[in-house]
Amino acid sequence: MDIVTSEVSSTRYWPLTSEWSRQSPQNLGLDPNAVQDAVSFAISHESKMLRDIGRALKEGHFNEPPPINEIIGPVKDRAEPSGVVVRAGRIAAEWGDIERVDMTFSATKSFLSLCAGIAFDRGLIPDIHAPVRELVDDGGFASEQNRSITWAQLLQLTSEWQGGLWGKPDSIDHNRDLSLPPGQSNDKGLQRTMQPPGTHWEYNDVRVNRLALALLRVFKEPLPHVLKREIMDPIGASDTWQWHGYRNSYVDINGQQMQSVSGGAHWGGGLWISTLDQARIGLLMLNKGQWNGRQIISEEWIAESVRPCPLNANYGLMWWLNAVGEQAPAASRSSFFAKGVGANIIWIDPENDMVTVTRWIDKESFPKFAEKVVQSIR
């Protein structure tokens, strides 16, 4: 690891190798006692989710009865809480094993959004407001309900896509209420009347997986390859991260079998990644897609990603927003987040030039943790 330096450079710091600059909180404009209080809080408010994630899923973490709750992707046990507080690109505080690779659940969705951004920047998806069926002809967007669905609607969770994928029906997440703890939504999974695309916001993992498959068909190569080449390697990420699909999510692309990855770990799979690599993604987003003088992903896409969805001011293109303070009342309104069950959270705060990653913190405790981090800013 880098030697701790005595003062913050006036120029932007980029962790170009696996080593990061670490500086004392006070040199980064943070109160050391308040930072330590935030760290202690994160450690003492560990997630209630079982460390044996396979068991947690089998025992109904998502409130789904057998056999529909069958795990079809890989899982791994989780670690103790971990995290980093980064300011001006430098690490001010860390806790837990920040190099351990863990599941991230729905924080994966934000990485899926980055892949969509690469497709947009490369001209593979010229217009995200155009119907998906114009580029993807695999039957998934042929029905009357699905034919007008746009890329933007899939990314904003307003598509109302109807159908089944990898053995899971879209109705599995009908009436899902994210304000309730997992397993406490009595109406979840009950079939409801479908609405026209773009008129109803609903958190639904089957539709996110449908987006992943559509992107695979557009790129004609596995999304992990795209993510590695276009984003992770250029920002100096480690080679320890993995992105999994399901045992039954292989499709034929130009005569080759390719796995379509999942946008979360609802039934296993998803992105497995270290805290430090998540922090790199946070820095990329904080700097509007720019990394050490190179535009990795367009500023236009980053701006679109954090534009509030017309039906949900708290959501952009698979990034959670804080425009009305709902994610963390004490955090700046410019803050945005990648969030997954666990909780696994990448918090980007442009106003204060900060990225904070916290993993396996109790979901209900995150706003208080965020408040403590904010209180540390001098």
pLDDT computed for residue 184 by the predictor:
62
Mapped onto helix, strand or coil, the DSSP state of residue 368 is helix
Distance CA 58, CA 65 (A): 9
Alpha-carbon torsion (50, 345, 198, 211), positive or negative: negative
pLDDT of residue 231: 98
Specify the pLDDT at position 221.
Answer: 98
Distance CA 60, CA 183 (A): 7
Q: What pLDDT, on the 0 to 100 scale, is given for residue 19? A: 87
The whole-number pLDDT of residue 65 equals 84
Domain of 44?
1-378
SS3 letters for 54-90?
A: HHHHHCCCCCCCCCCCCCCCCCCCCCCCEEEEEECCE
Q: What domain count does the chain have?
A: 1
Q: Quick one: CA dihedral 234, 239, 241, 245, positive or negative?
A: positive
pLDDT for the residue numbered 190:
86
Residues 6+ apart with CB under 8 A from 274: 98, 99, 100, 101, 102, 238, 240, 241
* CA–CA distance, 360 with 78 (Å, rounded to integer): 8
Task: Decide: pTM greater than 0.75.
Answer: yes
Three-class SS state of 270: strand
Can you tell me the distance from the alpha carbon of 299 to that of 337, in angstroms, rounded to the nearest whole number? 17
The per-residue pLDDT for 225 is 98
Per the omega criterion (within 30 degrees of 0), is the bond before 67 cis?
Answer: yes
- At residue 3, the pLDDT reads 32
pLDDT tens-place values along the chain, 378 residues long: 333 333 444 467 999 888 899 999 999 999 999 999 999 999 999 999 999 999 999 988 888 888 889 999 999 999 999 999 999 999 999 999 999 999 999 999 999 999 999 999 999 999 999 999 999 999 999 999 999 999 999 999 999 999 999 999 999 999 887 876 655 666 888 889 999 999 999 999 999 999 999 999 999 999 999 999 999 999 999 999 999 999 999 999 999 999 999 999 999 999 999 999 999 999 999 999 999 999 999 999 999 999 999 999 999 999 999 999 999 999 999 999 999 999 999 999 999 999 999 999 999 999 999 999 999 999
CA distances from 272 to 61, 115, 157, 248, 268 (A): 19, 16, 23, 19, 11
State the CATH number of the domain containing residue 14. Answer: 3.40.710.10
The answer to whether residues 221 and 230 touch, using CB atoms and an 8 Å cutoff, is no
For 83, phi then psi, to 5°, come to 175, 170
* Listed residue (276, 234, 273) closest to 110, CA to CA: 273
The C-alpha atoms of residue 57 and residue 96 are separated, in whole angstroms, by 24
